[in-house]
Amino acid sequence: MLVMKETRKTVIGVDLDGVCADFYARMREIAAEWFECSPSDLPEEVSYGLSEWGITDKNQYESLHRFAVTQRELFKTMPMIPGARKYLRMLSDDGYRIRIITHRLFIHYFHASAVQQTVDWLDSHGIPYWDLCFMKEKEQVGADIYVEDTPDNVTQLRERGLQTICFANSTNRHIGSPRAATWREVYDIIRRSSAPGD
């Protein structure tokens, strides 16, 4: 009996917040409500940690984040970053394996809500994926190429020799190439640098 060996697919590890889902746009709306001000009072250009909105420490950020997720369904109500669905579907159709990796469980006691909102968002926006991983240490998921926007994560992945595309926004302007400002650019970089299977 002839057994066909399945070709291993190239795995793309894709972050959600700031890469597929527009975290900063939705969080700005919720933060305006939290601080009882107009969204126009909060600058669109922010650094990691949102100090431009008056967030001064980790406890304050976690309070806002907890309110956003538990009371305003942050992870379910974020708009999709244009092109995410289209180009992830194209990559999937090309033979790449999409592995969503997110660190959304960093605040205790509402993990079930965070997971459910995440799955609902992915399904409602038609984002194709094979695997969904909730973890901080993204290098441990075994992806071949990462698409990430958090500056520290990009730096750590690259320091471990892992191919990482920085999805550009105002929090990571100091991070060098490869960078992509759009999902079309992500797609082009991946197609130029790798084949779907080994």
- Residues forming the active site: 15, 17
| DSSP H helices in 78-150 | 84-94, 111-124
Alpha-carbon gap, residue 106 to 148, rounded angstroms = 17
- Within 8 A by CB and 6+ apart from 88, the residues are 14, 20, 98, 127, 128, 129, 183
Instruction: Sort 157 into a burial class: Cβ within 10 Å, 0-12 / 13-18 / 19+.
Output: buried
Judge whether 100 and 129 are in contact, CB under 8 Å: yes
Structure tokens belonging to residue 179: 């960078």
